[in-house]
Amino acid sequence: MEAVTAVLDSGSLVHGVQHRLFEAEFGSYLGVSHAIGVASGTDALELCLRAASRDTRRKVVTVANAGGYTSIAARSAGFQPVYADVSPDTHCMDPRSLREVIDDDVFAVVVTHLYGRMADVASIREVLRGREIAFIEDCAQSAGARSGQVMAGGLGDIAAFSFYPTKNLGALGDGGAIVTNDDALAYRVRQLRQYGWDPKYYVHMLGGRNSRLDELQAAFLRLRLRSLNEMNERRREIIRAYAAAAPEGVEVLPADDETHAAHLAVVVSNSVERLAIHLAREGIMTAVHYPLPDHLQPAWLDRSAVLPVTEGLVGHVLSLPCFPELEGNEVEAVCSALARYSKG
Ligand SMILES: *Cc1c(COP(=O)(O)O)cnc(C)c1O
């Protein structure tokens, strides 16, 4: 409330001091040279793609099991999404499949750190070595994940974050950010998020528009950022408890260490529908991330994609409640409901 009042009293509501400080603090938390606030995670993806596009190549490789956001961002910018399959163990991009779908028309690869788990970045970089293809990280689910000293968002050429309220670093509404160590990409993104201006009222770049993070969100995010590591540790604790309680035939995807931001507690099972009904009877809400892969979405149905692992996971994943504010007794209630579930 104090932060909100301070913003209202300041009279500055967009791109003021809170926004400047949040950009600096978020960049320093991630160890990157530029953090740039935008209006949402989807905008962040779209502006990353626009900034990375420097010639006539039109294709973007991504995965089809990550909620469709990259497909939507790519299509909004006039690019064509192409899909690599995922690894059955991690549900993240399979580098071997990536190698198979790359051709001369690909200018960018978007790697989603799905459910909070960092993808196999080293192998993906190996596939991209020697090619002029931008490596974009989708960190919407992985704010705070780290591998040694490197944070998710500092591994690729440029990265997109979402601050949608349920994300690990959630705002009071929509918000997003783009981070990069590349000065030229950062400069292009800063133009793109405000109409292509440089300076104000002089349009120097095509593809620009209005995508801004406002002062209230920035002030709130500065406060939340201070407890992000702690909140992520609590999320991992919850997933560890579920993993310990899950019966045979229900596999909880592990989130054991800091390479996993534990955004979602996902179980894999042959009987997720029955499990969801069982949990609902116990008063426990679940969700499916995600029910329909990108290439099969009705708006653009693309039957040319060959994705056996992605399609094989459809109907076999279910997300359990996972957010840091869950009380101990609530986590226990989920655990005992899981333990009581028998495959039958
Ligand atoms: C939430 C999410 C987005 C989109 O973020 P919005 O802020 O809702 O636009 C993009 N990618 C992934 C993986 C997400 O989970």
Distances (CA, A) of 172 to 4, 168, 175, 214: 11, 13, 9, 11
Q: pLDDT digits over 96-115, tens only? A: 999 999 999 999 999 999 99
Instruction: Number of helices (H) and strands (E) in the chain: give both, helices first.
Output: 12, 12
Hey, whose CA ends up nearest to atom 13 of ligand 1?
A: 140
In 170-315, beta strands by DSSP E: 176-180, 250-252, 265-269
CA of 24 to the centre of ligand 1 (A): 22
Cα(48)–Cα(287) distance, integer angstroms: 29
Mean pLDDT of 159-167: 98
Percentage of the chain lying above the pLDDT 70 cut? 99
Distances (CA, A) of 214 to 17, 68, 106, 192: 10, 26, 34, 16
**Band of the pLDDT at 211, cuts 50, 70, 90?**
very high
CA of 252 to the centre of ligand 1 (A): 23
Q: Probe ligand 1: pick from 62, 161, 167, max atoms within 8 Å of CB?
A: 167
Coil, strand or helix at 35: strand
Determine the angle formed by the axes of helices 69-76 and 41-52, rounding to 10 degrees.
Answer: 50
294 lines ligand 1 (CB under 6 A): no
Q: pLDDT digits over 271-328, tens only? A: 999 999 999 999 999 999 999 999 999 999 988 999 999 999 999 999 999 999 999 9
Alpha carbon 106 to its chain's center: 21
**Band of the pLDDT at 342, cuts 50, 70, 90?**
confident
pLDDT for 312 equals: 98
Instruction: Report whether pLDDT(343) > 80.
Output: no
Residue 64: which residues within 8 A CB-CB, separation 6 or more?
71, 83, 293, 294, 295, 296, 305, 307, 310
Hey, whose CA ends up nearest to atom 3 of ligand 1?
A: 41
Mean pLDDT of 116-122: 97
CA of 112 to the centre of ligand 1 (A): 10
69 lines ligand 1 (CB under 6 A): yes
Q: pLDDT digits over 137-161, tens only? A: 999 999 999 999 999 999 999 999 9
**Band of the pLDDT at 344, cuts 50, 70, 90?**
low
